Structure 1
Amino acid sequence: MSPIRYRGRHRKPRTSRTVGLRLIRGGVLSGVVGTVAVTGTAGPASATEQPAESTGELPVVSAALATSSARAAQATEDLATHTEQQRALAWAQERAIVAAQREAAEQREAAEQRAAEEAAARRAAEEAARAEAEERAAAEEAANESAAESANSPEVSTLSAPAPSGGAAAVLDFARSQLGDAYVMGGTGPDSWDCSGLVQAAFQYVGVSLPRVSGDQAAAGTQVSLDALQPGDILWWGSSPGSAYHVAIYTGNGTFIGAQNASTGVVERDLSYDAPSGAVRVL
């Protein structure tokens, strides 16, 4: 093996990297310095102009901000006013509804009270009518039961009396002219009567004023015995004059005229038909 000989290789000379970097850095530095110089020349002019521009724009911005703030405040105030108005309207509506409900309740209560009063009045009237009808029916029944006894009683044995004269005759004439008229509770003529209405009208015909109801009429004059009756005397039925429930006019000869009940009307009857409890004389 032949010995190797190292021979030096020929190389081209190279530019030092250090030198190249220095040149690049120098160029960059020159560019930066130039730029700074230009900027430095123009810089003072810009610096002097900028404050003038800022000083001119600030009042405009401030005025715009003030206007915006005023508008915002006004909008807030308007919103508050609108909200308050809405609340006031809702409150007024609520009060109106409550007032209407209260008025309706009061009207309903008044109507119910009126209806109750009317119903009570109707019931009272019906009860009064029923009580009077029962009283009359009881009186008639008692009269029918005692008819046989009344025929033999002393009350009938002294029925003869002198013929009526003067006012008594006129009273009887008036009473007889009403024979056949209807009986109506509370009737005072001219075509319908109740018992005391007929008696009152007959005596008023001759100028004698009598009370309206049976009890007062039975107590209006002088009480007389049933043994001493005279034409024109007022006969009454009841436990006492003040509590009399029926009256009629004695016509003489054991008869009387009276508005008896709805089934008979104004009739003339014998005393035996219904013996009276007493008699009173007003003429």
Structure 2
Amino acid sequence: MSTKRGQIQIDGFHSEHVEDRDALAEWTDEKQEEVSSRWRKIVRQLLHDRIALIGGAFVLFMLFWALFSRPLTLYGVTVQPFEVVPYDPMQTRIADPWMSPSLDHPFGTDSLGRDLFSRVMFGTRFSVTIGIIVTAIATVFGVIYGAISGYFGGRVDDVLMRIVDMVFAFPGLVLVLVIVAMLGRGYWQLVVGFTAVGWAGYARLIRGEVLKVKQNEYVMAAKALGARDRKVLFRHIVPNSIAPVIVQATLSIGGVVIGVAALGFLGAGLILPFHVSDVAVERVLRLLRTAPAFFPCRRTPSYRPSNAC
């Protein structure tokens, strides 16, 4: 191999004999086996971590109750015909208002006798799905945006990062509140608001990783073999830079759910009949002194706002 100024020449390589040099930059079977063994190692370590298994099982259990709480219909087609909550969240029982927590009603009932556990699980579906959708969209857009910025550098990097700085110049929750105020309250309005704020963090994170990974020898070798920028970026650089982004994405879902609850507490969240934790807290704050209930406690059918559990 000989070098010239600004060029790398490999002895024995003749570009005129190669019709499509991008194929030379493809992953080999050995690399695919290496990636598979890496994932098997991760799964094996996870199975030996009892704390992680217990936490994961609890999270999956709560997600199951939330996502499958009620039948789900999309565009007139029922995609989920069953329900797992014990009561209809909208069904009123005038004879059973303000019941304390019990086996029949784990969270008690409200002023209209509606089961609070069923209502919270039903409302959690919307908060969780907002968190998942926002995280997915923000991650994909932010990774592409930040990877392009870090790979090309120069003026492209300067312009793209200044846009990211503009997003970070405003408090995230305040910016979401402004967007929701402009678009109106609703499910997809919240998705747009949190996505418009959340992508910038992923862009900055992946950019820093790309700046380090693109200096590796295998990236320079792929360029020398004639691989296009798109192949080099998304075949060699991004897969080796994505680990911190995955960690950030898993943490961001909970952050979005908390953000949705905060907006709902401020009166800018989901519109009724959605019932989420922020709405429940907002409505019962005035009853904290006159009608407290402790969980768990013994069933008291005669419980009323004037009595404490």
TM-score by length of 1: 0.19
Identify the structure with bigger relative contact order (alpha carbons < 8 Å, sequence gap 6+): 2
Higher strand share: 1
